[in-house]
Amino acid sequence: MKRTVAVGGLKIGGGAPVRVESMLKVPLSDEAGCAAQCERLLAEGCEMARVALPDVALADALARLVKRSALPLMADVHFDPAIATAAMMAGCRAVRINPGNMPPGRLDEMIRAAKDSGVVIRVGANGGSLSPRHRSAGGDGGVGAALFEAVKEQADLLLDRGFEDVILSAKSSSVADTVRANAFLSQAYPSLPFHIGITEAGPGDAGLVKSAVGISAMLSQGIGDTIRVSLTDEPEREVRVGYEILKSLGLRARGVNLISCPTCGRRRADVRSLVAMIEPLLAGLPDGTTVAVMGCEVNGPREAKNADFGIAGSPVGAVLFKNGQVEGEYDYDALPNVLPGFLNTQNINTRT
């Protein structure tokens, strides 16, 4: 059984659900901007956010943000253990340190402070900031092996000092290197929680695909207790995509499960316009509700019947199903008026 660590009230690892994280993209010097981003992330279902603490001078701003934000925060610290200690004194319940640039010989004071204040430490190595020493220790195993060596060095240092509230993380912009590093680490530390993601995955489709492939590959091997989708985009999108990945693997059920067919030459309804019509109506439905929008009678009726709400293209417009039962057939032109009343939460038994 995996160890559970707690960042404030947020449990990570063990039997806890896989958590969805992001990182603030405004500097701590912009306190109002940070607070607003925390609120938007919380509204999207974000469960913890990292915040860069580049300097001890910003520890007071961090303390104010910790007090102000309902979202659990993890201070992201590089180069100097004293900054990590300052984050703990500021009230942060979790700190990420980077073994690629954090001097292992100067960690004792930080570890004592973490023990005294019940702080979780994430040892998070990144392929872009591996030290020459760790690269060399990885030998012919490349970046994957070097990431493993970097995390192992500092994880062992913490564990040898009796500090066990640890999360491990090894990320690269390469899916293959990240998966390899995490496979090595999970063999070496089967009981510790892992944070996973593909770092610097990029913008747009490429970033989504890289993240989904890498995170899914690791989760399917049983590796990963918290995830972050690292996109060149708004952090709220990282959270939405994170939940989509977990939803597609059946691990979390935030939001509606929307099934829609790609359409083909058989289509009786324009599925894209139907989806555009219903998407604004989905926000009020309970988590886990399944809505199917299908273009014709080939796969349409079965998918639509199996869903909580189903819409299948028909010769006149669409047949609507609720709880597997036909509600009626409507002309396409009538649908904008019919759908808001149809997609309501009354009388549905969410069957997913």
CA–CA separation, 313 and 323 (whole Å): 18
In the complex, least distance from residue 295 CB atom to ligand SF4, rounded to whole angstroms: 3
Site stretch for ligand SF4 (CB under 6 A), options 109-117, 150-158, 169-177, 257-265? 257-265
- Of residues 105-144, those binding ligand SF4 (CB under 6 A): none
323 φ/ψ sector (left φ>0, alpha ψ -120 to 50, else beta): left
In the complex, least distance from residue 231 CB atom to ligand SF4, rounded to whole angstroms: 30
Per CB under 6 A, 263 contacts ligand SF4: yes
CB nearer ligand SF4, residue 6 or residue 298: 298
Three-point CA angle 67, 70, 76, nearest 5°: 75
In the complex, least distance from residue 316 CB atom to ligand SF4, rounded to whole angstroms: 16
In the complex, least distance from residue 310 CB atom to ligand SF4, rounded to whole angstroms: 12
In the complex, least distance from residue 213 CB atom to ligand SF4, rounded to whole angstroms: 24
CB nearer ligand SF4, residue 78 or residue 302: 302
In the complex, least distance from residue 293 CB atom to ligand SF4, rounded to whole angstroms: 9
Angle between helices 81-89 and 59-68 (to 10 degrees): 40
In the complex, least distance from residue 333 CB atom to ligand SF4, rounded to whole angstroms: 20
In the complex, least distance from residue 47 CB atom to ligand SF4, rounded to whole angstroms: 36
In the complex, least distance from residue 318 CB atom to ligand SF4, rounded to whole angstroms: 12
**Neighbour count for residue 190 (Cβ, 10 Å):** 12
Three-point CA angle 225, 227, 229, nearest 5°: 170
- Residue 107: what are its φ and ψ, rounded to 5°? -95, -10
In the complex, least distance from residue 258 CB atom to ligand SF4, rounded to whole angstroms: 14
Q: Which of 262, 315, 336, 341 binds ligand SF4 (CB under 6 A)?
A: 262
Integer-rounded Cα Rg, in Å, for the chain is 23
Neighbour-count burial for 257-282, b at 16+ CB within 10 Å, e otherwise:
bbbbbebeeebbbebeebbebbeebe
Query: Site size for ligand SF4, by CB under 6 A?
Result: 12
- Of residues 279-318, those binding ligand SF4 (CB under 6 A): 294-296, 298-300
CB nearer ligand SF4, residue 261 or residue 343: 261
SS3 per-residue string spanning 191-234: CCCEEECCCCCECHHHHHHHHHHHHHHHHHCCCCCEEECCECCC
CB nearer ligand SF4, residue 127 or residue 313: 313
Three-point CA angle 228, 232, 237, nearest 5°: 55
Q: Which of 112, 133, 266, 351 binds ligand SF4 (CB under 6 A)?
A: 266
The dihedral through the CA atoms of 175, 10, 48, 288 has a sign that is: positive
Q: What is the DSSP letter of 118?
A: T
CB nearer ligand SF4, residue 4 or residue 263: 263
Q: Which of 264, 283, 346, 347 binds ligand SF4 (CB under 6 A)?
A: 264
The dihedral through the CA atoms of 95, 247, 335, 264 has a sign that is: positive
CB nearer ligand SF4, residue 100 or residue 300: 300
CB nearer ligand SF4, residue 2 or residue 302: 302
Residue given tokens 């180069």 in the structure block: 79
Decide: 30 and 54 in contact? Cβ < 8 Å. no
Give the nearest residue (CB) to ligand SF4.
Answer: 295
CB nearer ligand SF4, residue 32 or residue 264: 264
The dihedral through the CA atoms of 259, 301, 277, 337 has a sign that is: negative
CB nearer ligand SF4, residue 279 or residue 297: 297
CA–CA separation, 54 and 62 (whole Å): 11
Site for ligand SF4, rule CB under 6 A: 261-264, 266-267, 294-296, 298-300
